Structure 1
Amino acid sequence: MTATTTTDSKGLTQFKEPFTFDSLLRILNKVPFSTPFLGLLPVLAVYYHKHKNPSLALPTSATDALPLVRSLLFTQYKWTGYIWIFILVRTINRAINRYVRNHTEWRRDPIDYTKDIVVITGGSQGIGKEIVQLLSHKKRAHIAVLDMAPPAYIKAPAGAPEILYFKTDVSNREQVAEVGAKIRAAFGGKKVGVLINCAGVASGNAILDVDLDSAARLWRINTLSNWITAKEFAPDMIARNHGHVVTVSSAGAYATLPSMSEYATSKAAALAFHECLAIEFRTRYNAPRVRTTLVAPTKVRTALGDGMEDHADPFFTPVLEPVQVAEKVVWTLDSGLSQHLMLPGFANLLPWIRALPDWFRRLLAILDNSDNTVTEKSMSRAMKNGYGSNWEGADKELYDRRKKLMEAAKGAK
């Protein structure tokens, strides 16, 4: 039960999703649990009752209809009443959530791709690569990619702005500042309207085996770079009270795993950064229309994702394809609203699970076999498949050191 991916004539990734829990949720959200059913469900109940009682005279006014509907929903066909209440509560909750998350503004503020520059870190490969391709080919966006890895995305289509690539260490503020000036100049003085912090690395080590130099590097890229890029590009958005900052965190920010302490803590910090940035746009910078979105996926089929074993249940927690996450990010930018994206849909339970008793959380971990999600075997597979092989300088030294330690541990066994 895995997604099938292909490449079309333009080189864009296409995928066919199998039937999963997310597929079921989409069907339920569009039909029985959608807001229009608040009005449609009572009508269906009345006509169903009329079908069972042909002699029943249908009400001709709202005054006559309300007692009948109340009786049908909450006395005769209680299950319809429960569904109606569920839809009502869900609709109110989503409306309030949208109102608060977007700083008490109902109005959408979508990105204008003809005017707003899109800056994306980690855009050369994986999720970032797919975002770049979609924005370039579908939206004709002005895109600047900041990454140390060489670009693997396809070129911009005819008529679209060239995708600018800058070999940049996003944890180096001098490099980011220098690149920021080059980006604005290259696009004729346009302002940055979108910042997507997608750069990320991982290293699966038990806590006592963590190489502190490697951990510091991981934190600089996964966490500190969010501050560096925000300080460089967010002022463009604040000045216009318009823009969108997307922070790619991880489901690991909510559910920690053995041998993932470096990665999980860095992504939990990225989550906290996102929440602070969102409220500060309103309370400190008077820019409530600058949108902020958090993306927290579970395992994604990337070079980094190779370091994890597949989930135990592909129906509820399938391995995500990079293009699936990318499409959600592009949809978010088009929505003009701040979002909190837990992917797949079942992952939305993770924040709630954190509030459960420890014994129950431990039981879930045993049932899911999550203790064995990251192992020496899975990390060896990731490195064998090329993860980290394009690192340079001091990063290359850390990569080689890690590889030797893994080989030594394997030999000792």
Structure 2
Amino acid sequence: MSRRVSPNRASRSALPALSPFSAKTKTPHWTQALTLDLIIRVLHKTILHPFLAWLIPLCLRAQATPYSHPSFVATTAYASILSFLLLLNILNKRIAYGLPRKVSLEDEVVLVAGGASGLGLLIAEIYGMRGVAVAVLDVRDVGGVGMGGVEEWEEVHSVRYYRCDVGDWGEVERVKRMVEKELGTPTILINCIAAPINGMSITSLPPTAISYTIHSNLVSCFNILQQFLPGMLSSPTGGTVVNLSSVVSYLTPAGLSDYVATKAAISAVHKTVEAELRVSGDNDRVKMILIETGQMATALFEAVKTPNNFFAPVLEPVQVAREIVAVVDSGNGGIIRLPAYGALVNWYAVLPVAIQRLARYLSGIDSAVGVGVEAEKRKGNGSERAMASSDSISSEKEREKGKASSSSKGSDSDVELIEADA
């Protein structure tokens, strides 16, 4: 019988107190905070908010302003338009994604694939501190290279770390049995896996790098969906699936052919699975959430320089994690695109080609990766190091496969479970 971790029970685990890149972040100049996203957020909280818009005609009526007065007519029309647009937005989401499912955290089991660093780590910490049973799957060792030492890790309630190559079907299958035995059937699946960015042209990209990116980004997405989605469909509480993609799958910047291809494929797989759930009538029980973000301030994007901080600001992982957790907790499905320009990427393809070329030139998107990679090379942290890291990870996986083949197959002990005593 599966065992769940009670929200009131402290189960010891090892997760880092802070993401490894956060300690290296310098305090930005105040002008860096002035972005299009900030302006839009302020407008939505003020003059574009229907409630505040209705205060103006009400105040005019309090001053005995006639109904036929131009100021009253204009402000009433403005407030009515905002209210109508809000209702249309609510109706559109309800038709597209149906009613929200009921999310009760004490009955949920969260599985974060790629949760040992970056965005996945923050999401695991958030749910762990709230007492939710969390399983973190990642290929990295605790305290490995780029992860910080074990002494930098702190106890987080109810979170357990499973070392697993999610791109390997056999490993995912064995870890699934371990998670179901220790925590229960996962009902919230968050896929945050992303391979390092190579930043090379297609003629310079080694075949091993292409295979590694596809293995890490795309094959892992198929594996976790095929392994854990059936459990959600049979669960009485239903489930939520979150897939992390990128807006670059629409914009296709130069130097990211392998990365863009896998992210575009993840978005396509997500939408296809959502259609399958809708056809089968299970879309009310299992909600699909697609996250398409721009550049984030993680180690993955160290070699990328944002072309324009005002229109394309670098997202803080905490900001993205907060948005994801809020949507998951609401029980809704949908698509989240960050930052603000992400909401317009669907329109890019319908623009005339000449305007597309002009937009790419003015934004500098095709030189962003190249400039960042060259800067990293001058610091000795270029793509050669990324490739060496990929090769070392591949070699490590080959060695572990050799060890696994010499031991008894199909045993749950083949999967290393890193946890402290409860």
TM-score (norm 2): 0.76
Asked whether 1:125 is paired with 2:137, we answer no
* 139-148 or 11-20, larger mean C-alpha shift: 11-20
For residues 302 and 361 of structure 1, the distance between their equivalents in structure 2, rounded to whole angstroms, comes to 29
Work out whether residues 360 and 366 of structure 2, in 8 Å CA contact, stay in contact via their aligned partners in 1.
yes
SS at match of 1:88: helix
Match among 290, 293, 299 for residue 295 of structure 2: 299
Partner residue, 1:5: none
Asked whether 1:148 is paired with 2:163, we answer no
Match among 270, 276, 296 for residue 274 of structure 1: 270
For residues 286 and 43 of structure 1, the distance between their equivalents in structure 2, rounded to whole angstroms, comes to 45
Work out whether residues 124 and 134 of structure 2, in 8 Å CA contact, stay in contact via their aligned partners in 1.
yes
CA gap 1:297/1:49 in 2 versus in 1, 3 angstroms: farther
Work out whether residues 240 and 287 of structure 2, in 8 Å CA contact, stay in contact via their aligned partners in 1.
yes
Deviation at 1:123, TM superposition (A): 0.6
Match among 286, 308, 318 for residue 323 of structure 1: 318
SS at match of 1:304: helix
Q: What number of residue pairs does the alignment pair up? A: 359
Match among 105, 109, 116 for residue 113 of structure 1: 105
Higher RCO (C-alpha under 8 Å, 6+ residues apart): 2
Match among 322, 330, 338 for residue 333 of structure 2: 338
Partner residue, 2:39: 24
For residues 383 and 348 of structure 1, the distance between their equivalents in structure 2, rounded to whole angstroms, comes to 36
Asked whether 1:227 is paired with 2:222, we answer yes
Work out whether residues 383 and 389 of structure 1, in 8 Å CA contact, stay in contact via their aligned partners in 2.
no
Asked whether 1:171 is paired with 2:167, we answer yes
CA gap 1:359/1:184 in 2 versus in 1, 3 angstroms: same
Asked whether 1:371 is paired with 2:356, we answer no
Deviation at 1:322, TM superposition (A): 1.6
Match among 340, 360, 381 for residue 384 of structure 1: 381
SS at match of 1:340: strand
Deviation at 1:264, TM superposition (A): 0.8
Deviation at 1:135, TM superposition (A): 1.5
- What are the superposed Cα offsets for residues 169-194 of structure 1, whole Å, 9 maximum, x if unpaired? 1111111010000011112xx22111
Deviation at 1:248, TM superposition (A): 0.4
Work out whether residues 149 and 391 of structure 1, in 8 Å CA contact, stay in contact via their aligned partners in 2.
no
* 174-183 or 207-216, larger mean C-alpha shift: 207-216
CA gap 1:45/1:19 in 2 versus in 1, 3 angstroms: farther
- What are the superposed Cα offsets for residues 124-172 of structure 1, whole Å, 9 maximum, x if unpaired? 11111111112212x2121111111234484444xx31x2112211111
Match among 194, 199, 208 for residue 204 of structure 1: 199
Work out whether residues 306 and 381 of structure 1, in 8 Å CA contact, stay in contact via their aligned partners in 2.
no
Deviation at 1:216, TM superposition (A): 2.0
CA gap 1:383/1:397 in 2 versus in 1, 3 angstroms: farther
For residues 299 and 382 of structure 1, the distance between their equivalents in structure 2, rounded to whole angstroms, comes to 21
For residues 62 and 359 of structure 2, the distance between their equivalents in structure 1, rounded to whole angstroms, comes to 45
CA gap 1:368/1:118 in 2 versus in 1, 3 angstroms: same
For residues 132 and 272 of structure 1, the distance between their equivalents in structure 2, rounded to whole angstroms, comes to 26
- What are the superposed Cα offsets for residues 73-93 of structure 1, whole Å, 9 maximum, x if unpaired? xx5567536633541342133
Residues 22-171 of structure 1 correspond to what in structure 2 (within 5 A)?
22-37=37-52, 39-47=54-62, 50=65, 68=67, 71-72=68-69, 80=75, 83-84=78-79, 86-102=81-97, 104-105=98-99, 108-137=100-129, 139-151=130-142, 152=147, 154-157=153-156, 160-161=157-158, 163-171=159-167
CA gap 1:101/1:397 in 2 versus in 1, 3 angstroms: same
* 369-378 or 164-173, larger mean C-alpha shift: 369-378
Residues 241-280 of structure 1 correspond to what in structure 2 (within 5 A)?
242-280=238-276
SS at match of 1:300: coil
Work out whether residues 38 and 88 of structure 1, in 8 Å CA contact, stay in contact via their aligned partners in 2.
no
Give the alignment's Cα RMSD to 1 decimal. 3.0
For residues 107 and 267 of structure 2, the distance between their equivalents in structure 1, rounded to whole angstroms, comes to 29
Match among 310, 333, 353 for residue 348 of structure 2: 353
TM-score (norm 1): 0.78
Partner residue, 2:414: none
Partner residue, 1:395: 394
Work out whether residues 54 and 76 of structure 2, in 8 Å CA contact, stay in contact via their aligned partners in 1.
no
CA gap 1:80/1:346 in 2 versus in 1, 3 angstroms: farther
- What are the superposed Cα offsets for residues 277-330 of structure 1, whole Å, 9 maximum, x if unpaired? 222222126342211111111111111111211232x23321112222111111
SS at match of 2:128: helix
Structure 2 gap ranges (5+): 1-15, 398-422
CA gap 1:154/1:115 in 2 versus in 1, 3 angstroms: farther
- Percent identical: 24
For residues 383 and 302 of structure 1, the distance between their equivalents in structure 2, rounded to whole angstroms, comes to 18
For residues 277 and 381 of structure 1, the distance between their equivalents in structure 2, rounded to whole angstroms, comes to 43
Partner residue, 2:418: none
Letter in 1 for 2:363: D
Deviation at 1:41, TM superposition (A): 4.6
- What are the superposed Cα offsets for residues 106-138 of structure 1, whole Å, 9 maximum, x if unpaired? xx325333222111111111111111112212x
Structure 1 gap ranges (5+): 1-9, 51-55, 57-67, 399-413
Deviation at 1:393, TM superposition (A): 4.9
- What are the superposed Cα offsets for residues 364-398 of structure 1, whole Å, 9 maximum, x if unpaired? 11111112111141563797287566556563599
